[in-house]
Amino acid sequence: MLSSRARSLPASSTAALDAEIKARITAGADIINLTGGELDFPTPDQAAEGARRAITEGRTRYTPVAGIGPLREAIARRLTEHWGCRYEAAQIVTANGAKQALAQVFTLLCEPGDEVILPAPYWVSFPHMIRLAGAVPVPVPTSDTGFKITPETLLDHLTPRTRVLLLNSPSNPTGAVYERAELLALAEAALEHGLTIVTDEIYGDLVHEGASFTSVASLGPDIAERTVTVGGFSKTYAMTGWRIGFAAAPAPVADALTAVQGHTSSAPSSISQYAALAALTDGTEAELERRAAELSTRRTLMRDGIHALPPLRLTAPPQGGFFAFVNIGALCTRPNEDAGTVARDLLEHAGVAVMPGNDFAAPDHVRLSYGVGTGDIVRALDRIGTYLNTIRTGAHHG
Ligand code: PLP
């Protein structure tokens, strides 16, 4: 009874593995879980209080489809003040997470068969969202260029059907952050060929010491005119369960997005919108800075820990987000061994759950989250080290 589109759509492998690990831990298994896509920080008090106020005051009705005015204004202001973009409230559409905004955007920008340039390794959901919109993902390998697409590799993959360049900086899963000059060169190449840029900047507030974040739309008005910026509250404020994301886009795209949403999901939860508004307006900046500093510390711990665990190798150390993307190619010595088998071995023999890179287009990498506390990072690295020693000395069953 399923359509061909539905038949070709697998369940999210990352969500499935995370659920399996959580169930095993609940059942008593001694596993350190580095598979998750969320930070261990709590929802900021201000946001929780904003939600409680919304309930008490009965703000529990449908809101305008694009979201309540004050929230759209606050998002536009933050993008302007923090990221140097010039967005008006009318250009902001809130959604049930960045995920929903992204999934809808491809349906607005692409005719059936149009191509979307997708730097690989990529976030697991991107190709499926693109295909569901009837478009075609065109993966562009970036492993030889620091996990970043360049104007040259972009041009190599252009066809008359190319419509969109999809960027994600800081990247899930690689942690790569584009420098301003790199982004500018890319954006100019994209514009020259009539492409629209969709930029997933959900990790834009989580950039570590030594790197700096540039939002594509801040590069200039002509670039902003051809750019759809997607962001959200899941990562910056660790509010994954509240389901608030947004798109900031040229007015015709924002209007079209509102129309689609108006006929499908309507606005996100009113209570979550008030929570998000409070996160933006009730003074969370000091807490965000503290969290960013903590993440930099965790990144350094993870990076240095992996450097001390050959043959594991970081192709490029993470500069933002909370994932280390680790090359495990040297552990795959037999036919059919890949990140999937290595992740299974680490789970069964080291008690550490990591995300195999297979569905990120990187079957020789695993992704380790440092969204967990430093204690878990240290213990996980220690367990992995012990396991590597066992296989080195041949004590492992093989
Ligand atoms: N984009 C990327 C690159 C992500 O990694 C994630 C979450 O894992 C999302 C979007 C989805 O975020 P949201 O919770 O706002 O839907």
How many angstroms does the Cα of residue 26 sit away from the middle of ligand 1?
25
Of the pLDDT bands very low, low, confident and very high (cuts 50, 70, 90), residue 9 is confident
Residue nearest to atom 12 of ligand 1 (CA): 98
| The pLDDT of residue 11 | 77
Does the pLDDT of residue 91 top 50, yes or no?
Answer: yes
User: Distance of CA 18 to CAs 87, 193, 300, 319, Å?
Assistant: 36, 40, 24, 24
Does the pLDDT of residue 397 top 70, yes or no?
Answer: no
Q: Is 391 exposed, middle or buried (0-12, 13-18, 19+ CB in 10 A)?
A: middle
DSSP-assigned states of every residue in 59-116: --S---TT--HHHHHHHHHHHHHHH-----GGGEEEESHHHHHHHHHHHHH--TT-EE
Q: Which of 14, 17, 123 to mutate to test the pocket of ligand 1 (most atoms within 8 A of CB)?
A: 123
Is any ligand 1 atom within 6 A of the Cβ of residue 356?
no
Of the pLDDT bands very low, low, confident and very high (cuts 50, 70, 90), residue 396 is low
Of the pLDDT bands very low, low, confident and very high (cuts 50, 70, 90), residue 6 is confident
Q: Each residue of 340-391: pLDDT tens digit?
A: 999 999 999 999 999 999 999 999 999 999 999 999 999 999 999 999 999 8
Does the pLDDT of residue 12 top 90, yes or no?
Answer: no
Joined together, the tokens standing for residue 211 give: 């790197």
Average pLDDT value for the chain: 95
Is any ligand 1 atom within 6 A of the Cβ of residue 199?
no
Q: Each residue of 47-65: pLDDT tens digit?
A: 999 999 999 999 999 999 9
Average pLDDT over every residue of 177-200: 98
**99 CA: nearest ligand 1 atom:** 16
How many angstroms does the Cα of residue 37 sit away from the middle of ligand 1?
8
How many angstroms does the Cα of residue 388 sit away from the middle of ligand 1?
32
| Local structure of residue 207 (DSSP, 8 states) | B
Positive or negative CA dihedral for 14, 16, 22, 25? negative
Is any ligand 1 atom within 6 A of the Cβ of residue 245?
yes
Residue nearest to atom 7 of ligand 1 (CA): 37
Is any ligand 1 atom within 6 A of the Cβ of residue 363?
no
Is any ligand 1 atom within 6 A of the Cβ of residue 176?
no
User: What is the distance between the alpha carbons of residues 107 and 103, in angstroms, rounded to a whole number?
Assistant: 7
Q: Where is 327: in which H helix or E strand?
A: strand 323-327
| The pLDDT of residue 395 | 61
Is any ligand 1 atom within 6 A of the Cβ of residue 172?
yes
Is any ligand 1 atom within 6 A of the Cβ of residue 240?
yes
Residues of the chain with CATH 3.90.1150.10: 4-42+286-390
**168 CA: nearest ligand 1 atom:** 3
Q: Architecture of 4-42+286-390 per CATH? A: Alpha-Beta Complex (3.90)
Q: Give the relative orientation of helices 45-56 and 270-281 as an angle to the nearest 10 degrees.
A: 140
Is any ligand 1 atom within 6 A of the Cβ of residue 234?
yes
Has domain 46-283 been given CATH number 3.40.640.10?
Answer: yes
Is residue 231 a contact partner of residue 204, using CB atoms and an 8 Å limit?
yes
Average pLDDT over every residue of 69-94: 97
- Bridge partners of residue 164, in order along the sequence: 116, 196
| The pLDDT of residue 36 | 86
Is any ligand 1 atom within 6 A of the Cβ of residue 232?
yes
Does the pLDDT of residue 8 top 90, yes or no?
Answer: no
How many angstroms does the Cα of residue 97 sit away from the middle of ligand 1?
7
Residues of the chain with CATH 3.40.640.10: 46-283
Q: Each residue of 276-303: pLDDT tens digit?
A: 999 999 999 999 999 999 999 999 999 9
